[in-house]
């Protein structure tokens, strides 16, 4: 009886452990599929605008229009917007960049753009001034802004 109980417990433990391992492997696969790009200050200076070199001039350095999501990991509305941005990054792959800036880690960037509430979304067209939107937006509103402001459709 004790042997059967131990065998049953071992079997259950094995199944639980295998389930956790599979879940961890799937999470790694999802992380590798992310199309949005996390920016640090150094990345921002190379890919978006070098405000240290040209402090009074906006000169976008990218080769495609971009969206920058200023967010924080604890922000509920930011968590709602994140999967929408991932979907859009996949839908508009090759046409635009979708960047993310964690305002807790990159406080200088948040201050530079006067971020007071999050999420704040910066739309950067190729040959025009950037435009800021605040608050969580539904997917259709993002698509409208991408098509109208960034891709000029």
Look up the pTM and report it: 0.77
For residue 8, the model assigns a pLDDT of 37
In the CATH scheme, what is the code of domain 37-150?
Answer: 3.40.30.10
The structural domains of the chain, with segments of one domain joined by +, span 1-33, 37-150
Alpha carbons 67 and 125: distance in angstroms, whole number: 9
- To the query of whether residue 75 is one of the catalytic residues in this protein, the response is yes
**Radius of gyration in angstroms for the set of CA atoms belonging to the chain, rounded to a whole number:** 21
Q: What is the pLDDT of residues 58-107, one digit of tens each?
A: 899 999 999 999 999 999 999 999 999 999 999 999 999 999 999 999 99
Kindly name the residue from 66, 68, 78, 85 that is annotated as catalytic. 78
Which residues contact residue 143 at a Cβ distance below 8 angstroms, ignoring those fewer than 6 apart?
88
Kindly name the residue from 68, 75, 82, 109 that is annotated as catalytic. 75
Q: How far is CA 38 from CA 47, 113, 133, 141, 149, in A?
A: 11, 17, 19, 22, 22
């Amino acid at each position: 009886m004790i042997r059967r109980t131990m065998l049953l417990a071992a079997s259950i433990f094995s199944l639980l452990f295998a389930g956790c391992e599979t879940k961890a492997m799937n999470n790694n696969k999802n992380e590798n599929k992310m199309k949005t790009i996390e920016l640090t200050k150094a990345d921002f200076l190379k890919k978006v605008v070098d405000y240290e070199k040209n402090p009074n001039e906006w000169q976008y350095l990218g080769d495609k229009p971009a969206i920058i999501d200023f967010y924080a990991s604890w922000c509920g509305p930011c968590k709602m917007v994140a999967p929408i941005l991932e979907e859009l990054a996949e839908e508009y792959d090759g046409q635009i960049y979708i960047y993310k800036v964690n305002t807790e880690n990159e406080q200088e960037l948040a201050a530079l753009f006067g971020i007071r509430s999050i999420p704040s979304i910066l739309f950067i067209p190729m040959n025009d001034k950037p435009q800021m939107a605040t608050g969580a937006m539904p997917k259709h509103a993002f698509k409208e802004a991408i098509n109208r402001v960034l891709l000029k459709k």
